[in-house]
Chain A
């Protein structure tokens, strides 16, 4: 595992580099550390978005879920610029979900209910048949575990200072 980490082009190192860059950006403008919940919450949102974004960028467009994540982030940021927070973005996500439910019957999956749940979890899963969905899920799980590992290490190092 250590040898893999040293590989500069591995998923883990790519994600780490991007995420750290994003973190420094988020933390940089902080001159006075205010522990107000509001600010912490905003920072939480930004960090979460940064984590997902850096993971999706590390995977490039090779996977359906990464493309879907990037697209989602872009449309959300666009909608936020136009209108105030949240309303439009939620509407958009709802429409995509409804399209997904229509497609579900056509795929003829034996395990329809669980496949539907999995589709909701994996980004971009609405438009995939079960076969590709399982493929994407496997890759998604692998990337999520990397993400969790890296973030946990960062958090530990930060708290130790």
Chain B
């Protein structure tokens, strides 16, 4: 296949270029690149290597982290081989069947299929695309803080690009001229603001075949900037404000997803408003628990040996989070967090009372004491936020 030969040729030329380049990270690259090139026996792999190499050349040391990411994931080679099996069709269609929802999302939004189309042409095209690829890496580095799904996202982008290239060889469309205008517009706007790069499916692919000559002059400028370039999606406004808005929204939804994992019982919730409500409830309940526990610590017998504290510190550090599991695995009921205060009566009533000075603490007595203290608190000095709501909640949990 001619395209395959082109790829190999490009890879070879890129490697030779790499050897000549005077980057300080040369040694690093040489050590990293060989496994990648050797690993990727498939079409996509070598193209990836070539793109990635060009990125490194332009970007310098800052890209090394991404190299390591690439290196560590052998699965992307499998993905590439799968993707090359498809022909034609939309990007989303291709990525869809892989049940990689993140990849799909990101591929639709951030995947620069442009850059994958490079290998058909000369190195110039590769450089332009590698810039976008580079920019995308910058985004993922800056915005996503390098968690594991981000690694997948980054890898998906180049992988999905390669089959498009192979399928749409020599694609000439009148759309290209328009798309090139569309590209330049937001790019100029993007110079002023950082924006994430976004790309969609088939139409953007054709751009690169013709764009190479126009963009080659611009390609040298782009890597010097530290901006993230956004590309407007098909059928959406290319206004810089709306692009920035979209970036913001994506960031927010990323964070919401992270929070969803933290807050127990929020897997089924979709929608920001409900999710935020859950988060607020959870934070409130955690704060109330801290207050409950500090109250409990205050009522407990203070005459404890100092030796015990040393034992305590060891025990606490070795303690398994069994109690936390009660909290974390609580059912998705209205107040799952109320379960943990209900453990108090269990521990208190089950303990033989050794201290004669302290009154026995069965459930009701503790409750009364707490009530007295709270009422005292209201009449006396200020109590920040420890209202009667907390008492009612504790009562409910005890009734459980």
Residue numbers of A with Cβ under 8 A of B are 1-2, 5-6, 12-13, 16-17, 20, 23-24, 27, 30, 33, 35, 37-38, 40-41, 43-44, 47-48, 51-52, 85-86, 89-90, 110-111, 114-115, 117-118, 121-122, 130-131, 134-135, 137-138, 140-142, 144-145, 147-161
Within 8 Å by CB of A159, from B302, B313, B324, B348, lies B348
Q: Are A5 and B317 in contact (CB under 8 A)?
A: yes
Shortest CB-to-CB span from A109 to chain B, Å, is 9
When each residue 108-121 of chain B gets 1 if its CB lies under 8 Å from chain A and 0 otherwise, what string results? 00000000000000
Closest-CB distance, A90 to chain B (whole angstroms): 6
Q: Which of B297-339 contact A (CB under 8 A)?
A: 297-304, 306, 308-309, 312-313, 315-321, 323-324, 327
Q: Which residue of B lies closest to A151 (CB)?
A: B293
Q: Enumerate chain A residues within 8 angstroms of B277, measured Cβ to Cβ.
A: 114
Closest to B341 in A: A152
B214, CB-defined interface residue at 8 Å: no
- Residues in chain A near residue B255, CB distance under 8 A: 131, 134-135, 138
Q: Which B residues contact A (CB, under 8 angstroms)?
A: 248, 251-252, 255-256, 258-259, 262-263, 272-273, 276-277, 279-280, 282-284, 286-287, 289-291, 293-304, 306, 308-309, 312-313, 315-321, 323-324, 327, 340, 343, 347-348, 351, 354-355, 357-359, 369, 372-373, 376-377, 380-382
For the residues of A in contact with B, the DSSP-based class is helix
The answer on a CB contact under 8 Å between B290 and A48 is: yes
Q: Which of A40, A145, A148 has the most CB of B within 10 A?
A: A148
- Asked if residues A20 and B309 are in contact (CB atoms below 8 Å), the reply is yes
- Measured between beta carbons, the chain A residues less than 8 angstroms from B348 are 159
Nearest CB of B to A155, in Å: 5
**Structural contact, A160 and B351, CB atoms closer than 8 A:** yes
Closest to A160 in B: B351
**What's the minimum C-beta distance from A98 to chain B, rounded to whole angstroms?**
17
Q: Which residue of B lies closest to A130 (CB)?
A: B252
Q: How many whole Å from B198's CB to the nearest CB in chain A?
A: 18
Minimal beta-carbon separation of B196 from chain A (angstroms) = 13
Q: Assess whether A27 is in contact with B293, with CB atoms less than 8 Å apart.
A: no
Task: Given the known inter-chain contacts A134-B255, A141-B282, please indicate yes or no for A158 contacting B290, CB distance below 8 A.
Answer: no
Taking A153-B323, A156-B347 as known contacts, 5 extra A-B pairs with beta carbons closer than 8 A to each other, sorted by chain A number, are A41-B377, A131-B255, A134-B252, A134-B256, A155-B296
Complex Cα spacing A144 to B319, Å: 17
B382 touches A90 (CB 8 A): yes
How far, in Å, is B390 (CB) from chain A's closest CB? 12
Summed over the interface, the residue pairs from A and B with CB atoms below 8 Å come to a total of 183
Q: Provide a sorted-by-A list of 27 A–B residue pairs whose CB atoms are within 8 angstroms.
A: A1-B321, A6-B318, A16-B317, A23-B297, A35-B358, A35-B359, A85-B381, A90-B382, A111-B273, A115-B276, A118-B279, A121-B284, A134-B256, A138-B258, A140-B283, A141-B263, A144-B287, A144-B290, A145-B286, A148-B290, A149-B321, A152-B323, A154-B297, A155-B296, A158-B301, A158-B304, A159-B351
| Contact present for B320 and A141 (CB under 8 Å) | no
Q: Are A47 and B313 in contact (CB under 8 A)?
A: no
| Closest A residue to B262 using CB positions | A141
User: Is A138 a contact partner of B259 (Cβ separation < 8 A)?
Assistant: yes
Give the distance in Å from the alpha carbon of A113 to the alpha carbon of B27 in the complex.
Answer: 54
| Cα-based distance from A38 to B381 in the complex (angstroms) | 10
Contact A155 B297 (CB under 8 A): yes
B280 A117 Cβ-Cβ under 8 A: yes
Contact B300 A158 (CB under 8 A): yes
